[in-house]
A and B are shown apart, each in its own frame.
Chain A
Amino acid sequence: MNRTGNSAMNRANAGAAFRATLKRDLLISVKRRNDILNPFMFFIIVVSLFPIGISPESAMLRQIAAGVIWIAVLLASMLSMDSLYRSDYEDGSLEQLLLSSQPLYLLVFAKNIAHWLVSGLPVILVSPLLAYMLALPAEGYLTLVLSLLLGTPVVGMIGAIAVALTVGLGSRGLILAVITVPMSVPVLIFGTLAVQNSLAGGSPLGYLALLGAMLAAAASLAPVATAAALRISLN
């Protein structure tokens, strides 16, 4: 076989491996519903405690709405991180992933996407409902959803690096949060600023563009870092 034919076939195989990994992870999540439901329920519970704990007055709530939702999203994604890679590490699938002849960062990226689809997306879909409960003014809804759409994958991919670094440790508990939270703070800041800016009548586009830039950087760099961290952890 000639060289070009070979590389075209390799690309096709890499694409097939990417799709197979994405499909497998989604399938596992669907079969283990708790992994999806737990962060989702946690998110709803945390947000709904705020009107009870602070004040049911909408004047008060609308000021903290964006921040509360963003913090709850961050905590929920931290919770969902715990299950990422754990069963793959325990049953040896991670070793097979490392031994694949396809690029590891590509397969890691597939796992990132699958994880976001089952843990990030449901939370985003329900966020307008909770924003309504927290009396967020209507002009903030679109910005909130957009900022979450751009921001949650970044948090997920940063978290994946931390998970990959700690996957060999028996009980990682708080370490995960200690690594992930400081790196997620910029996302939190720009996410809430975008919403507040659009509430104040300004344009949120600048902050959303910053979130978009972070997403682009995370999508191109984080899988490579995660892949390297996995190789170290499994050594």
Chain B
Amino acid sequence: MTEISQDASPLLEVRALTCERGERLLFRDLEFSLDSGQVLQVKGGNGSGKTTLMRIVCGLNDSFEGELYWRGDALGERWDAFHANLLYIGHRLAVNHVLTPLENLRWSCRLHDPADDSGIREALAEMDLAGYEDSPCYSLSAGQQQRVSLARLLLSSAALWILDEPFTTLDVDGVALLENLVARHAREGGAVLITTHHKLVLPRLRTLTLGVAR
């Protein structure tokens, strides 16, 4: 049930975003917008503020100046409506080690949309984790844990995906799988904000490079 905006305003718009971390200026007057069907890849060296930017857009970090707009409305009062349309997968995968993939996903799906067990099993099978649904996550490899986390992409109805380094521990098949998911989401009218050092090959891919102004 991916929603497509009918009006002219882009899904996400960032205006005059400035952020300092400690004494260091990470970025100043950053502007970009993200429309449905678009994928924006954020590039930049280590410490250039990619993760900080992601967390600011999510609403996890509020030590910034500037304005964020969701479908033309300023964010600040209506984070709830925004969060209902957002799926964030960060460095930390939100996969609890003592729980099984099924139990982990049951919970993280419930935070947003209801998902039934059969849907979760299907998503895990699509992430090539069939047979691991009921093994505790500490017995899975790092790449498999990442796949558990990424299975949420299949279960979510969010229009905006924010993915912070989602490729790090994936194998070749996993990378191809995730690239397909991102492309499919964009085709279906969703939008993706992604940081990666990986070379993405996607139609309508735009890039934003941080840290060049310094």
Spell out A's residues near B (CB within 8 Å): 13, 16-17, 19-21, 23-24, 27-28, 31-32, 87-88, 90-93, 95-102, 107, 234-235
Among A27, A87, A95, A107, which residue has its beta carbon within 8 angstroms of that of B60? A95
21 contacting pairs across A/B (C-beta < 8 A): A13-B114, A20-B111, A21-B110, A24-B99, A24-B106, A28-B96, A90-B92, A91-B92, A91-B95, A91-B96, A92-B90, A92-B91, A92-B94, A95-B92, A99-B60, A99-B111, A100-B83, A101-B80, A101-B83, A101-B84, A107-B111
Given the interface pairs A95-B88, A235-B62, the reply to whether A100 lies near B99 with Cβ below 8 Å is no
B6 interface contact, C-beta 8 A: no
Q: B86 at interface (Cβ–Cβ under 8 A)? A: yes
Interchain CB contact under 8 A, A99 and B110: no
Nearest chain-B residue to A13 (Cβ)? B114
A107 / chain B contacts, CB cutoff of 8 Å: 111
* Chain B residue contacts of A88, Cβ below 8 A: 96
- CB pair B99 A96 closer than 8 Å: no
Contact with A along B29-71 (1 / 0, CB 8 A): 0000000000000000000000000000011111100000000
Kindly provide the distance from the CB of B203 to the nearest chain A CB, expressed in whole angstroms: 29
Residues on the B chain within 8 Å of A93, using CB: 94, 96, 108
Q: Is the CB of A234 within 8 A of B103?
A: no
**Contact pick for B98, options A13, A17, A23, A28, CB 8 Å:** A28
Known interface pairs A92-B92, A99-B83, A234-B60; A27-B111 also in contact (CB < 8 Å) = no
Asked whether, in the complex, the Cβ of B60 is within 8 Å of the Cβ of A235, the reply is yes
Q: With A23-B107, A27-B99 given, can you name 8 additional A-B contacts, CB distance below 8 Å?
A: A21-B110, A31-B98, A92-B93, A95-B90, A100-B111, A101-B84, A102-B111, A234-B60
| Interfacial chain A residues near B90, Cβ < 8 Å | 92, 95
Q: Which residues on B sit within 8 Å (CB–CB) of A99? A: 58-60, 83, 86, 88, 111
- Residue B206 at the chain A interface, CB threshold 8 Å: no
In this assembly, does B112 line the interface, its C-beta being within 8 Å of a C-beta of chain A? yes
B-to-A contact residues, CB < 8 Å:
58-63, 80-81, 83-84, 86, 88, 90-99, 103, 106-108, 110-114, 136
Closest Cβ neighbor of A101 among chain B residues: B84
B63, B92, B95, B112: the one contacting A100 at CB < 8 Å is B112
